[in-house]
A and B are shown apart, each in its own frame.
Chain A
């Protein structure tokens, strides 16, 4: 064995790779279990709790956190912030992988995943909000794929005509992306409108769709900042001038935007409480938890974003971004798991099983590995030398 080979082997055995490998193997084992022994063998789902961790995390959080795609491309192409152009491809990649993983996770959660296309092509249940979610996610995944494809084609080489056509479609795809994102982000919240008796009054409001939509916007913005921070640390060598030039500006601009939207979101939360006169619920245990979520994970990061922007404090912004992401995850978990079925006795409440947690980790790990592969091989953080002039 040559030194080179040995070096390659040890280079591969990084701590991250080892852990990722363990998770992937465990995930594959559980996958086999799920498809041979049924959902009951790998989840703690029950008749009272049909939706568990996979829906709350992989679907609700996944879709919310993949919102960076449409927010960044909107900022760049519709609002004309040309200097963010370098951040578009990473954001699109994050979003595309995010949505792809949502669909992957759904294959685990749904009883008969091969029928996932039935509602779109076979029999449409148009009265259902879930139909609208499914249709929009299906189309949006296609849109994201088409927006991502140029990078892959550039890497693969030899598909110039197709690649150029796709690049020309960018504006249309972006607009379509915003429309679809508005629809399905809000519809994920609208899913819970149908069960007012099951969701705690502090989280149930007719404004749920608006809440989910607003929070998806600052979730996306925060994810872009967060992902950028992480990528900078490990993939800095891939980042080109254009990316780096706009990098800090992007963080400031997105911090400002996120701060404004979070303020609006907080206002809506208060209006929601006032409209139904739910103030008395704040004095309960659930009220304390609601305050923890809203004050601790929306109000405070909003303030940090605002202060960070005003004082040009990048470090504060980079703290506020994962904080906001955690807040989004907490909010989706609250709606889906904590505030849902709040009236049931504790013996009937749900907590994810170990296998469910492993699969969720597995899905995220697969996503991170895919991101790493694509980012290190394809022109994501840099502009491909052949296409320097053509890309816009």
Chain B
């Protein structure tokens, strides 16, 4: 029991050590990322909630018409999210009662290390050099793991389609970017609340605006480091990003880093388990062999002992029987002799009687 169990416990301990620790061993190379990738800066102090960006996105991407037209601003009374018919929505928030509302545009943030791209098991989502994270419907299986993975809850799915459902999400107008044009929403915004440019330049512009207007903005550029950094950056007026429905507790670890630890276990298990299990098997087999040998020995010894015992018994019995027989013979002889003697005496007596 001991050895087998001990090895088994060792294996379990090994698994727990490897799975619990995020592995950094994936690469020691310094990944520079895509330095010239584009991005968009959204300035929530400029947005007036006119929804022109939604209308432009709908037109450029040839999406179906919504139930309420884009100039109907009453939809802003409800908080919406992206859907299979809307790559982007604008929501209204009232961070402080009595103060004017603040608007925020929601769309794919085109993360630097996208959770969706890392989660997709057919590589249907990829991060391009333009900065856009694009979707290839020709390989998508429809597993919807990207929707689970996205920390911003952006991808939507065409559940109403039976045979050709797609993931629907903002593409940063990738085809337009390739033609040198601006994304549809950026072009349409009348207040230039959306600014397109190289992401690293946008970070500078964002901090510049924060610095030039002390007290107006929250001193943080959302997306600079969240989930490893996103291409879509947001600056907003005080009090907080949380008041605009943005998650302030996402942390700076990118999603691929969260699962890389678990994935590094795979080759380790594939490599070590056969050895471990073969070892266990060998140990088991050896024990069985030893047990079998011991058993055989014990059996042989028992047999030998039994045979010897039996033989001794037999000899003893034989001797006893012989002695018995001899005794009996002697007794018989004695009896016969006595009978003969008696007979002889009788015969002699009869003969003597006649003579007298």
Which residues of A pack against B, CB within 8 Å?
A: 34-41, 43, 45-48, 50-51, 74, 77-80, 109-113, 115-116, 118-119, 122-125, 127-132, 134, 171, 175, 178-179, 182-183, 186-187, 190-198, 206-207, 209-210, 213, 264, 268
How distant is the Cα of A194 from the Cα of B273 in the complex, in angstroms? Answer: 26
B157–A50 touching, CB < 8 Å? yes
A80 adjacent to B285 (CB under 8 Å):
yes
- Range class of the B interface residue count: 35 or more
Question: 9 smallest A-B Cβ distances: which pairs?
Answer: A111-B142, A40-B159, A190-B262, A131-B121, A50-B144, A80-B284, A50-B147, A128-B121, A125-B123
Alpha-carbon gap, A190 to B23, bound state (A): 14
B247 on the A face (CB < 8 A) = yes
Which of B37-45, B160-168, B211-219 binds A? B160-168
B322 at the interface (CB under 8 A from A): no
Is B157 touching A47 in the complex (CB atoms < 8 A)? yes
Bound together, the chains give a CA A178 to CA B278 distance in angstroms of: 11
Chain A residues in 8 Å Cβ range of B151:
195, 197-198
Contact for A47 among B119, B140, B153, B160, CB less than 8 A: B153
Nearest A residue to B260, CB-CB: A127
- Beyond A127-B118, A129-B259, A193-B258, list 11 extra A-B contacts (CB 8 Å): A47-B82, A47-B84, A50-B148, A111-B165, A112-B163, A123-B122, A124-B123, A131-B121, A132-B266, A182-B15, A207-B19
* Nearest B residue to A82, CB-CB: B288
| B121 A209 Cβ-Cβ under 8 A | no
Within 8 A of A (CB), among B52-108: 81-84
Segment of B249-257, B305-313, B327-335, B339-347 engaged in the interface with chain A: B249-257
> In this complex, what residue of B is CB-closest to A74?
B277
Nearest CB in chain B: distance from A74 CB, A = 8
A130 proximity list for chain B (CB < 8 A): 119, 121, 143, 145
CB-defined A-B contacts under 8 Å, sample of 9: A38-B160, A40-B160, A112-B142, A124-B123, A125-B122, A128-B259, A178-B273, A186-B15, A213-B15
Say yes or no for B176: interface residue by CB 8 A criterion: no
B156 within 8 A of A: yes
Q: Which of A43, A112, A127, A210 contacts B159 (CB 8 A)?
A: A43
Instruction: Judge if B115 is at the interface, Cβ distance under 8 Å.
Output: yes
Q: Are A268 and B141 CB-contacts (below 8 A) given A43-B159, A47-B83?
A: no
Q: Which residues of B (219-243) have their CB < 8 Å from a CB of A?
A: none
Of A74, A179, A268, most buried by chain B (CB within 10 Å of CB) is: A179
- B22 contacts chain A at the CB level, 8 A cutoff: yes
Which residues in B have their C-beta under 8 angstroms from that of A128?
118-121, 145, 259
A70 to B153, CA, bound (A): 37
**CB-nearest residue of chain A relative to B8?**
A79
The reply to whether the CB of B207 lies closer than 8 angstroms to some CB of chain A is no
In contact, A80 and B277 (Cβ under 8 angstroms) = no
Q: Does B263 contact A (CB under 8 A)?
A: yes
B53 to chain A, nearest CB (A): 20
A131 surroundings in chain B (CB, below 8 A): 121
Of A41, A78, A116, A192, chain B has the most CB atoms within 10 Å of the CB of A78
CA distance A249 to B300 in the complex (A): 30
Contact check, A268 vs B281: say whether CB atoms are below 8 A apart: no
Contact (A112, B280) CB under 8 Å given A128-B120, A179-B269: no
User: Which of A43, A127, A179, A264: most chain B Cβ within 10 A?
Assistant: A127
Provide the residues of chain A in CB contact with B15, threshold 8 Å. 182, 186, 210, 213
Task: Report the separation of the CA atoms of residues A191 and B263 in the bound assembly, to the nearest whole angstrom.
Answer: 10
Are B269 and A37 in touch, CB under 8 angstroms? no
Across the interface, A119 reaches (CB within 8 A) one of B21, B118, B121, namely B121
Q: Is the Cβ of B149 less than 8 Å from the Cβ of A268?
A: no
Q: In the complex, how many angstroms separate the beta carbon of A292 from the nearest chain B beta carbon?
A: 25
Q: Which residues of A contact B84 (CB under 8 A)?
A: 47
In Å, the complex CA distance between A265 and B21 comes to: 18
Specify which of A50, A129, A207 lies most central, judged by the most chain B CB atoms within 10 Å of its CB: A50
**Which residues of A have CB within 8 Å of B147?**
47, 50
Are A45 and B273 in contact, with the CB atoms below 8 A?
Answer: no
Q: In chain B, what residue has the closest Cβ to A344?
A: B153
